[in-house]
Structure 1
């Protein structure tokens, strides 16, 4: 009989067959036993869905009617977690590799702190396992963004070595309490991809919940080359303005809007001459924000590679 709290792990797939297989392999080696992995396929256009059906017959799988993005996929997973009477639901990027103790550390952290609604852990880069990608984070409302502590620094120089409260958790890995999901609310599907984790973190903080950073929970994230992703740029530009005007009120909203408009237009001038792809993606992101073209927008159709 299990004494561990039940965890549902949500894995989203869109044309990520290799990453999904490697992530599932790493999950098979963890020391936490009472978990159920749910794979949600966002209408993949490659053969990953048929491959997963054939090669992972015991994996619980669902295919959406349309590509609902990260946001829609996570919300679908939230509903399934409640159907399974789970205590916790873990949102985990498919392009990650987990360590043996990562889930045990997350669950223990939340079990020992009933004031916390969600938790995340230490995320290192997969291509350089001694480099930090996320070691806690914080919201920066006047800039309309969040920052990762010590991003790009070497692991041996890590500063936070014990559990601490933070006010931003990256969507790459978040463990939520299922019994608080109704109070927290769904992920805002207008975002589709990117920056929705900042909005949900800010929302939880505003509702009075605490967020835990647990450094003993370690995973590796495949982020090599993310700086050149034009689809990410499109969604980041469009969603930055969306985030600012949802997250901020009053004077901070005015300051953050002004700051972003000045910064992005400076970058547009540079990109117009130095990087035409970035210029087109960022311009389209701005256009889609101002024309209320949210959710999938033009990102997937115009900039997906």
Structure 2
């Protein structure tokens, strides 16, 4: 049996559509649960009205991606768990196809609403990889075909099944024994980057993480986040926390200045997003030096 865990936060419409798609799945035994992070838009009430057999965990506060998914995995009954964003819509055969793969951790091929490939796997953050991202090295099509980026964006690298460092938490299937041996997602992360760190620990424990295009799903991206500022600052905060856990003291000291230089460059080169990078400087660099 596959336990599908869907975290919702003020996403009533897309959550209902996500559930409709999941429940239309063919040739698979499912347990479906929704962990609601204190939504105020009537999400829980709408689910209870339309879907009588869906398990619902109703939190009094927003526990974030990590806390809510950990709740679900702790009580899930399946041999495998699927963490599924509420804005991620599966095809009728998606879950059966991905479940048949005998892999420790696996993510499927995610598509944007227009059918284009959505980047969904990559390499763990290092100083070099963060620097090449902040300096736009990853933006050059010829270069991105070959470099090991945090976010792999070359679509030609999404056509074959391969072992990777991490896959996005928007759609990731995990064997029960992986969770039981490694534990859950670090709840000091609230949102953005937590799946990378979890999969780093999973790989250190001897398991493998895979990307597979045998199944697809549509991901709307960010339905539970009203603007891009949390994503910009959240990923950078995630890097800093990652380095505090897994990197040397020297690298921990260098990282904020790499982020600072990159944010300043992006303020000038991406003026429409300048307020987000200014906020990142204020929240991340200002807090550490103030």
TM-score range relative to shorter protein = 0.7 to 0.9
Residues 289 and 202 of structure 1: CA distance in aligned 2, closer, same or farther (over 3 Å): farther
CA drift at 1:161: 3.4
Q: Determine which of 119, 129, 135 is the counterpart of 1:134.
A: 119
Residues 148 and 109 of structure 1: CA distance in aligned 2, closer, same or farther (over 3 Å): farther
Question: Is this contact kept in 2: 1:30–1:100, CA < 8 A?
Answer: yes
Question: Is this contact kept in 1: 2:83–2:171, CA < 8 A?
Answer: yes
Residues 206 and 274 of structure 1: CA distance in aligned 2, closer, same or farther (over 3 Å): closer
What is residue 297 of structure 1 aligned with on the other side? none
What is residue 7 of structure 1 aligned with on the other side? 2
What is residue 241 of structure 1 aligned with on the other side? 240
Question: Is this contact kept in 2: 1:244–1:257, CA < 8 A?
Answer: no
What is residue 184 of structure 2 aligned with on the other side? 186
CA distance in 1, matches of 2:288, 2:187: 14
Question: Is this contact kept in 1: 2:107–2:167, CA < 8 A?
Answer: yes
What is residue 36 of structure 1 aligned with on the other side? 31
> Are 2:95 and 1:103 aligned?
yes
Q: Determine which of 22, 26, 50 is the counterpart of 2:21.
A: 26
The alignment partner of 2:21 has SS state of helix
The alignment partner of 1:220 has SS state of strand
The equivalences for 1:115-130 within 5 A come to 116-126=103-113, 128-129=114-115
What is residue 221 of structure 2 aligned with on the other side? 223
The alignment partner of 1:147 has SS state of coil
The alignment partner of 1:30 has SS state of coil
CA drift at 1:160: 4.5
The alignment partner of 2:24 has SS state of coil
The equivalences for 1:146-295 within 5 A come to 147-150=150-153, 153=155, 158-223=156-221, 229-249=228-248, 256=255, 258-267=257-266, 275-276=274-275, 278-280=277-279, 282-287=281-286
Q: Count residues with an aligned counterpart.
A: 271
In the alignment, structure 2 segments of 5+ residues that lack a partner are 134-148
Residues 256 and 117 of structure 1: CA distance in aligned 2, closer, same or farther (over 3 Å): farther
CA distance in 1, matches of 2:158, 2:283: 39
